[in-house]
Structures are given as structure tokens and as C-alpha cells.
Structure 1
Amino acid sequence: MASSNDSSKGDHAEVSDTDADLAQISISEAWTQIAKGEKTAQALESHLTSLEKKIDDLLASFEESERAKVDEANSEASDSRSGDSNGGTETKA
């Protein structure tokens, strides 16, 4: 009976080796997938950085345009007020 126990231990060791090999393959595949995911994340981050820069440039352009319009409106309002102060009163000679 000792021989049957020995053979079952040998089979168990063989199965463990196969399980270990499968586990090693699974770990290797997991690392490969992680590396692939990291590359994808880096590419997405690069694209997002580019989009963020474009949005910042558009916002700066819009703010500059609005600032120029406000300055122009203030200048026109100031000119019309200074014209009203002289034109609103008549002087007799």
C-alpha cells in the first residue's frame, strides 16, 4: 500500500507544478495587461493635456476680447459724458 500513497503524492506534485505554471502564466498576462493599460493611460493623459492647453488658449482669447470690448464701451461712455457736460449748458455772450 505504500506504493499507492507514493504514486498519489507524485500525481499531486505534478498537478501542483501545473498549477504553478498556470499561475505564473496568469501573472505574466496580468503584467502584460497592466503595461498595456499604462501605455493607454499615458496616451490619454497626453491628449487631455493637449485639449486642456487648447481650452486655456480659447479662454484667454475670449477674456482678452471681452476686456477690449469693456474698455471700448467705457471709453465711449466717458467720451459721451464729457461731451454732455459742455453741450448741455449754453453760455450767452
Structure 2
Amino acid sequence: MLDKKKVGSILGATSLLPVIISIIIFYIERGPNADIYFIITIYGILAIIGILFAVFSWLMTKRFFLLIIGLIGNGIVLVFTFLLLLAMGISEA
């Protein structure tokens, strides 16, 4: 049986997984034929899931290290997503 601290540590480690998946998707979906709106959607969903995992891990373990690393990593992905969406909006105007 998993206790609360163990589940929190697992969630903290899992909060970094969306960042890694986003980097992998970045290198797979490249080129002029890439569906950019699909990529923006995937990045946004992964970043929000990662932030939620980081917050839930902090609530269960009260360790700031996993929260900070998870929020910074997924925050960078979320900012990248916003800038990509902004660039697509500017290019269509």
C-alpha cells in the first residue's frame, strides 16, 4: 500500500514527464507540413497536466523542490505555447 508521501513523490517525478514528452514532440513534428494548431493544443494540455501534478505532489509531500522544478519546466512549455499561438495569430493578420 502506498502512503501519502510516496504517492506525492511519484506525482512529483511524473510532473516532469510532460516536459520530456513536449521536447520529444518538438523534434518529431517539424517541417513545413506540421499541423501547428495540433502541436499548440498538445503543448498546452501537457503543460497544464504537468502543473497539476506538481501542485498535487506538493500538497501530499510539502516538499518545495518537486513543486519548483515541475512549475518551472511546465511553465516554460506553457510560455512557449503562448508565444507559438501569438506568432500564429500575427502571421494570419
Does TM, scored on the shorter chain, surpass 0.5?
no
Alignment TM-score, normalising by the size of structure 2: 0.31
Which structure has more RCO (C-alpha within 8 Å, separation ≥ 6)? 2
Please say which structure displays the higher CA radius of gyration: 1
Alignment TM-score, normalising by the size of structure 1: 0.31
